[in-house]
A = this chain, B = another copy of it.
Amino acid sequence: MGLTKSEMFTRSQNELAGIAKVLGHPARIAILQEIIKSKSCICGDLVQEVGLAQPTISQHLKELKNIGLIKGDIEGTRVCYCINTKKWEEVKQLFHSFFDTHIPMNDDCC
Residues in chain B near residue A21, CB distance under 8 A: 20-21, 24-25
How many subunits of this chain does the assembly comprise? 2
User: Interface size bucket, A side?
Assistant: 35 or more
A51 at the interface (CB under 8 A from B): yes
Query: A24 and B17: CB pair below 8 A?
Result: yes
Q: Mark A1-24, 1 if CB is under 8 A from B, else 0.
A: 000101011100110111011111
A73 CA to B80 CA in the complex, in Å?
A: 51
Quote the shortest CB–CB distance from A107 to chain B (angstroms). Answer: 8
User: When each residue 95-110 of chain A gets 1 if its CB lies under 8 Å from chain B and 0 otherwise, what string results?
Assistant: 1101111011010111
Whether B26 contacts A23 by the Cβ 8 Å rule is no
Q: Which residues of B contact A106 (CB under 8 A)?
A: 39-41, 82
Give me the interface of A with B, judged by CB distance under 8 Å.
4, 6, 8-10, 13-14, 16-18, 20-30, 33, 36, 39-41, 50-52, 71-73, 75, 80-85, 88, 91-92, 95-96, 98-101, 103-104, 106, 108-110
